[in-house]
Structure formats: structure tokens, C-alpha cells
């Protein structure tokens, strides 16, 4: 191959790579430039979209669809899936351009493999538990057992998973000087549904196991032997201890940032943060509340908290950090899904 052509091809490849990197940065820049005020009502907007996915409702009644939404989480359009990923991207980009031409959005960005376009989109067909069936499992009287001196039901008179969890939860509460609240228990149940569908034998791709999807390291830290890794009372006990540990580590930075909030809002925000910490890890959550780049949103919401609900404060903190490690859409949707199941319960 002539040297000139080789150089030309290399230059083209570099330009293509650079263009892809620009696009990759562009969608994140849209988020970075979005006013924090967009977070008002954002939780409700995203919950509408996620409700369609979780319960096969609305525009996701047919799962072979994509939905498109804007920087506020507002629904803009839906489209049927294309036969393959390449055609899917092309079709999505056509809809994006059409929305721009119709002045339903003030900009559009083409998406490609691994690079989100704008308006943003996701598939209605996403892996999720069957929520109502999982809630039925929570309430089915099929559990009995003992753990650490506690007894839940008997073989002749089994109890529900809700009752079992409450026995362990209340016992550990009574041992705390500063108890977790009933609100936390409702979120705890919702988390059980989202994590595992309330299925004892559930195992994730990352080898998290049981009804609360605990990793082996966590179970070992809770001094639970391998024979009892899936024991439902043991799982609740270990998860509760993680909640308490996370709260102990999170509370100082949380109170320094949001300690001035009205008591009920402050408690609700802390409870939601604890749920997100279970999913994302204590170090990541501390950075979200800290003084670094990831903490800019928290700084704003702490100063303007009167304008936002506790739910919108955390949604805004997560949304404005999407694209920064480790925050992605899955972190935001996890929060939405937990709250939707909390409401469903």
C-alpha cells in the first residue's frame, strides 16, 4: 500500500476516533450544563418512565419498544424496535432529528454503539423481576426458622417473609441507641424485591446471593457460615448490620451537608441515601456528598433545599453526576425502582 494512502487511512481513523470521543463527551456535557432547577419534579418524570418498564404499562405495554426522554426525564416519543442494533441506532437518530425539527427539543445528538444520543433513550424490554409476583412472595405464609435466638413461625404455622424480616429488624432496632425508622423498613422490603424478587435462591452475575443479594465478603464479615448464606433470617440480619454500618459512616458527611433540613425531609433523604449506598458503596456516596467535583450538586441542593423534595434532591445529585465514575443510568433507575416498589407495597 502506498505510504500516502496509509497515512490518509491512519488520519481518517484518528479523526473518526476523535469524533466518537467528542460525541461521548457531548452527551455528558448536556448533563453538566443542565440547570439544577431541572431537578424540580424530575423524580416523578423518571418514575413514570420506570413504572412503564417495571409493570409493562403505558408505552411499554409492548416491550419491543424504545422510549425517548429529555434532560428533565420527560417522555418525548416511543418507537418500535428495529431488527438489529445498527438499524436500531439509525432509527433512534432519525426520531431524534425529527423531534428537533418539530421543535420538541432544542438540540439533538446522534447515538452510536456505546455512545448515548440525545434525546436519551432506553428499551422497554429490560431485565427486571415480576414485581407483583415478588410482592406476593413477600406476603405468602411459607417461612419458618430460627436465627441467633430468634424464631419466625413454625412448620405448622409458617409466617410471611415480611413478618420474618420484621422480627429480625425489630430485634436489631431494639439494640440500637439511635434506631432506623419504619420508613427504612418499607424501603428495605422494596429493596428485597428489586434485588432478588424475594427469591431465596437468587444469584447475580457478580455472585451476590440470596434475597438481599449479599456478597460472600459481606456474609463472612457478618460471621455467617456458608451453610447459612441463603438463610432468609441471616440475610436480613446481615443486611441490617450493613445499613447500620453505612449510616454510621455516612451520617457525619450527610449532617454537615444537610443537617439544617426540616426533620422529616432530612430523615427521608437519609433513608434514600442509605438505600443507594447499599447499591453503590459507602465511598462513592461520601464523594457524592463531599466537597469535590461530584459534590457540587449536593452543595447546590443544600443551599436551595426549600425548592426541592427529598426525592428530587437525591435524583438531582445522581442525575448531574451521570458519566462520572461510578454513576450511570442504572444508579438513577435503581433509586426510581425502589421507590416505585415502596409505593406498590
CATH 1.10.530.10 fits 131-344, yes or no: yes
The whole-number pLDDT of residue 6 equals: 39
- Among candidates 31, 121, 37, 34, which has minimal Cα distance to 76? 121
**Per-residue confidence band for 39, with pLDDT thresholds at 50, 70 and 90:** very high
Please give the Cα distance from 125 to 56 (Å, whole number): 9
What does the pLDDT average to over 136-155? Answer: 96
Residues 313-322 have pLDDT tens digits of 999 999 999 9
Does residue 2 register a pLDDT over 90? Answer: no
Alpha carbons 302 and 308: distance in angstroms, whole number:
10
Check residue 44 and give its pLDDT.
98
Q: Are 267 and 183 contacting, i.e. CB atoms less than 8 angstroms apart?
A: yes
Does the structure show a pLDDT above 60 at 208? yes
The structure's pTM equals: 0.90
154-176: average pLDDT: 96
Q: What is the mean pLDDT of residues 277-306?
A: 97
Say what the pLDDT of residue 231 is. Answer: 97
Decide if pLDDT at 75 tops 70.
yes
Q: How confident is the model at residue 25 (pLDDT cuts 50, 70, 90)?
A: low
Domain boundaries, the chain: 3-123, 131-344
pLDDT band for position 178 (cuts 50, 70, 90)? confident
Amino acid at each position: 500500500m502506498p505510504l500516502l494512502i496509509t497515512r490518509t487511512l491512519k488520519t481518517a481513523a484518528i479523526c473518526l476516533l476523535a469524533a466518537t470521543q467528542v460525541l461521548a463527551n457531548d452527551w455528558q456535557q448536556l448533563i453538566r450544563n443542565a440547570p439544577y432547577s431541572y431537578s424540580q419534579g424530575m423524580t416523578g418524570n423518571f418514575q413514570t418512565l420506570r413504572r412503564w418498564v417495571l409493570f409493562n404499562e403505558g408505552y411499554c405495554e409492548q416491550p419491543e419498544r424504545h422510549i425517548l426522554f429529555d434532560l428533565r426525564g420527560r417522555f418525548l416519543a416511543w418507537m418500535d424496535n428495529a431488527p438489529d442494533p445498527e438499524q436500531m441506532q439509525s432509527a433512534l437518530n432519525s426520531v431524534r432529528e425529527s423531534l428537533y425539527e418539530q421543535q420538541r427539543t432544542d438540540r439533538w445528538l446522534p447515538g452510536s454503539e456505546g455512545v448515548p444520543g440525545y434525546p436519551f433513550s432506553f428499551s422497554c424490554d429490560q431485565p427486571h423481576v415480576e414485581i407483583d409476583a415478588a410482592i406476593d412472595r413477600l406476603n405468602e405464609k411459607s417461612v419458618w426458622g430460627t436465627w441467633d435466638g430468634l424464631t419466625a413461625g413454625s412448620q405448622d404455622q409458617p409466617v410471611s417473609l415480611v413478618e420474618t424480616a420484621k422480627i429480625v429488624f425489630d430485634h436489631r432496632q431494639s439494640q440500637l441507641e439511635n434506631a432506623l425508622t419504619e420508613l427504612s423498613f418499607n424501603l428495605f422490603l422494596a429493596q428485597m424485591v428489586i434485588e432478588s424478587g424475594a427469591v431465596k435462591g437468587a444469584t447475580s452475575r457478580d455472585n451476590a446471593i440470596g434475597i438481599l443479594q449479599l456478597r460472600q465478603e459481606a456474609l463472612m464479615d457478618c460471621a455467617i457460615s456458608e451453610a447459612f448464606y441463603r438463610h432468609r433470617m441471616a440475610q436480613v440480619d446481615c443486611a441490617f448490620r450493613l445499613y447500620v454500618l453505612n449510616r454510621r459512616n455516612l451520617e457525619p458527611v450527610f449532617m454537615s451537608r444537610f443537617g439544617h433540613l426540616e426533620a422529616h425531609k432530612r430523615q427521608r433523604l437519609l433513608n434514600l441515601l442509605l438505600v443507594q449506598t447499599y447499591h453503590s458503596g459507602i465511598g462513592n456516596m461520601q464523594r457524592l456528598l463531599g466537597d469535590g467535583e461530584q459534590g457540587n450538586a449536593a452543595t447546590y441542593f443544600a443551599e436551595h433545599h426549600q425548592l426541592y423534595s427529598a426525592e428530587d434532591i437525591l435524583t438531582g445529585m445522581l442525575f448531574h453526576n451521570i458519566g462520572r465514575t461510578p454513576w450511570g443510568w442504572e444508579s438513577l433507575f435503581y433509586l426510581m425502582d425502589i421507590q416505585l416498589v415502596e409505593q406498590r407495597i
